Amino acid sequence: MPFYHKLGSIPPKRHTQFRKPDGSLYYEQLFGTIGFDGMSTNSYHEQRPTQVKEIKNQFSVAPKIAKANNIKSYRLKGFQIKPENDFLESRKTVLINSDCAIQLAAPKQSTSDYFYKNTDADELIFVHKGTGKLRTMLGNLDFKYGDYLLIPRGIIYKIDFDTEDNRLFIVESRRPIYTPKRYRNWFGQLLEHSPFCERDIRRPEELETNNESGDFLIKVKKQDDIIEMVYASHPFDVIGYDGYNYPYAFSIHDFEPITGRIHQPPPVHQTFETDAFVVCSFVPRLYDYHPQSIPAPYNHSNIDSDEVLYYVDGDFMSRNDIEAGHISLHPAGIPHGPHPGATERSIGKTETEELAVMVDTFKPLMVTEDAMKIADDTYHTSWL
């Protein structure tokens, strides 16, 4: 995160004695990224966070690739992913490259008997359906429909769902995920022309501190393997922390759209960035107000990036036969644009109620076997 956050109790200075009421020491941990050069947090634990009792099962969760070199446009019917009880087992990777993995999930149950840590990637979880609480070592966040949950790599967490009807769109990023640089000044503050500001970002405000010993199962993702590790102390034993590296929530409904007299390009919708892909939010907004404007997006060629659009809600003006939960993939190398009739239908329209999440990757995406199970194999001909 580009701004400082403090929660719980911490000592006045880093790397100094911080004692419990009984005189013993709390245990400090630097939780940082990019060596010692990236965002970091200093956390203070009731017990040493290094106590591994046992390493148990290890198994691969690497997706099976169906098309490694793809130039075909696809529509994936995301709600055809069947609900599963377990949070991790419900996650299905549909598109992937060396920088990110795009997943769909329909978990029915909370993560009750284990904790989870992804050491491979930051996780950006978009909540399409469901409410609940994200519980982490650095505090908790309530979530609801339309929330982005940004979980930095290495965070230990659980998810508690209120019901069994949950739908998630997930991007795993091997690069750190930031707010767009062009929206921040050289101090890191979000600028006046940014479509959101620090007030919209929800930081953890509820810190669970469990001073317990025992057997605590943590499922760790590393290099596309899940490794089951048993820790001797409760992972949520932090008494306090401060820094810039922590989970947070941001609602797509708090994104303020940028509009103009003529059709604005996709970067005005940008919400998150890495050096390998960007994430954009398409939200309800007024259409272009030039008297001769065409609200429908113009045809454009994806020369340098693959475009993935996840449809959340509303009327998707530029596409025919698109429903909530669908994903469109338009690969680099071929042009795409509105379906036949969409341009003409858009003229005279004054607003849109569409809600969608877009991921543009700078490397080609491979299509997985799980994607092909829900793919419309004729979508590439829908412009005829």
Residue ranges of the binding site for homogentisate: 336
Cβ-based burial of 215 (10 A; exposed 0-12, middle 13-18, buried ≥19): exposed
Stated as kind and residue range, the H or E segment containing 190 is none
d(CA 28, CA 45): 6
CA angle, 77 then 84 then 142, to 5°:
90
d(CA 136, CA 156): 6
- The separation between the first and the last C-alpha atoms of the chain, rounded to the nearest angstrom, is 45
Show the tokens assigned to 331: 């690969």
Q: Is residue 98 a contact partner of residue 123, using CB atoms and an 8 Å limit?
A: no
d(CA 121, CA 36): 18
Q: What is the DSSP string of 247-273?
A: -EEEEGGG------SSPPPGGGGEEEE
DSSP label of 25 = B
Extract the annotated binding site for Fe cation: 300, 306, 336
Is residue 263 flagged as an active site residue? yes
d(CA 312, CA 354): 8
Extract the annotated binding site: 300, 306, 336
Give the active site residue among 5, 15, 263, 380. Answer: 263
Query: Cα dist. 304→70, 242, 366, 368 in Å?
Result: 14, 39, 15, 21
For the annotated catalytic residues, the residue numbers are 263
